[in-house]
A and B are shown apart, each in its own frame.
Chain A
Amino acid sequence: MRTAAIPVAERRSRITPLRAVKDTLVIAERNLISYTRIPEALFFSSVQPIMFVLLFRYVFGGAIRVADPGGYVNYLIPGIFVQTVAFGAVQTSIGLAEDLQKGLIERFRSLPMARSGVLAGRTVADLCRNVLVACLITGVGYAVGFRVETSVWGYLAAVLLILMFAYSLSWGFAVIGLSAANSETAQVMSFPLLFPLTFASSAFVPVQYMPGWLQGFAKYQPVSEVIDAARGLMVGGVADVAGHVEVSLVWSVGLLIVLAPLAVHKYRTRT
């Protein structure tokens, strides 16, 4: 027997923060490679936002009146940003459910790696993807007439805020993915959450056009807060931008604090 393995194993079983970061990066790399090889994932992160931009810019947009500087296209693009990253987060739940189904999570759980590695890697991969998505939407937005009316710093701050919120959302969808029996269920569980959050929001239509009962939700739910903050930072025309930014940050940090440990707990204890 190779008893020499034991002291080595004892040393290697210690999970330092550095180890956790390394594991996260290895898994993130794996997920990013995967994304480039899954046509559906590429579709969801590229074609879909472009379709939404075109749909709302040219089909519905003419009928929606806004007072924003630059008109509806400037109102729309910040909303598309947030809607796209929120939809993208569904990939986290589907991907994790698939990993569970295929037994990969079991393998990872039997490895001497950080308990947070698989989930942190997945959410970091999502974050990287969202950076690319942000570039894509900016490009498409400019092509259809969107213009940053504030400053490049305002724009960057908005993107940063959106990325932070998206990162927290990814952890939420990780919880869903780890609770689902398979990837189809994960998808089915994700959309009832996603639709009200993205469509009953200020993303496409100003909230004041919605019926009274819906306004209460649409106005204060986190997605609207982030959209309003981003819109204010990118194109202006939003009252109390600082307030929206603050509320958005509180949501992002709050969701992360609650959801990340919950997701890791689910990962560790899933039978």
Chain B
Amino acid sequence: MPPAAIEARDLEKTFKGGVRALTGVSFAVEPGTVFGMLGPNGAGKTTAVRILTTILRPDGGSAEVLGHDVVKEPGVVRALIGLAGQYAAVDENLTGRENLRMIGQLTQLRRVDASRRADELLAQFELTEAAGRSVKTYSGGMRRRLDLAAALVDRPPVLFLDEPTTGLDPYGRVAMWATIEALVGDGTTVLLTTQYLEEADRLADQLVVIDHGKVIAEGTSSELKAQLGKSVLDLEMGSDEIAEKAMVVLGNQLGRPATRQASVVEIPLDEGPRDVIEALRLLDDAGLAPTGLTVREPSLDDVFLALTGHGTTEP
């Protein structure tokens, strides 16, 4: 097995004031993969990223990036990583191009090379038109793209993305996903944090779920999904009485419990789409027609409920 691109061992961090942000977090990220860190607000994701990017010293445990200890060799680690933090960290008063050129020069590109690299990235992130405008005038999505571009100036082999799509509109989110997927294609190792199960599912090869500073589950996204909860079919039956009848029919014949919330019947989809067909057929046979139908993914709340018995409450 190749050495891990990122390895965290028993990371601990307690902030002044006694907040225990991390209480022994361990994981390893294989080179060239996307690693997802899934957890609610306040779980400790940013703290872990800050330790791995040498910004914060851990109180306990150790971590390495491409074999270099983040505490003992922070300089080497910094030369190997790119970071796009939770908030777009760009200078509002500079233009997009000036921002990227500055980062380029700080990563030791000569001025001309830094300018060339800036233009390359501006084109890649569809910011060429806005390149000469001050960032103040950018939309949220544009700032995020610029921020990600800034993390890529140095072509880092390891990239940290802290909640890269939080605050983006659905279009921006999908676009960001495509961008991240393209990055991985060229061999970059990515660690990303997210509060969205859907995002982790779509992007991450390997996942940890983190809560109150602890890893509470890990595995591939499909392993976790199997463990955590299945898609749910919601059937709107129009009235409570009809829903009650439908629940009885489905409960008896599908061989698994259906539940009812007012006029909506909920069925866990063990077999995926096949279950939907079966359920609709059974209802049709019984002369019951739903007035509405939704298949929904389990939410992060469902996942946390399954794992911890509590929802995604803030600490």
Give me the interface of A with B, judged by CB distance under 8 Å: 1-3, 5-6, 8-10, 12-15, 19, 22-23, 26-27, 29-30, 33-34, 37-38, 102-104, 106-113, 117, 271
Contacts and interface: CB of A to CB of B under 8 A. Distances in A.
Contacts of B92: 102
B242 interface: no
Contact of A271 (B56, B98, B134): B56
Contacts of A10: 76, 79
A13 B75 contact: yes
Given A37-B134, A112-B75, A271-B16, A1 B2 contact: yes
Contacts of B55: 106, 109-110
Contact of A2 (B78, B89, B187): B187
Nearest to A14: B75
Given A1-B157, A111-B103, A111-B106, A37 B79 contact: no
B89 A33 contact: no
A33 B156 CA distance: 28
Contacts, number: 106
B231 interface: no
18 contacts: A1-B5, A1-B189, A5-B66, A5-B80, A6-B66, A9-B68, A12-B108, A13-B75, A22-B105, A27-B102, A29-B102, A106-B83, A107-B150, A109-B55, A110-B78, A110-B83, A111-B103, A271-B16
B54 A110 contact: yes
B31 interface: yes
Contacts of B79: 8-10, 12-13, 112
A30 B90 CA distance: 12
B78 A34 contact: no
Contact of B78 (A29, A102, A112): A112
A27 B15 CA distance: 30
B67 interface: yes
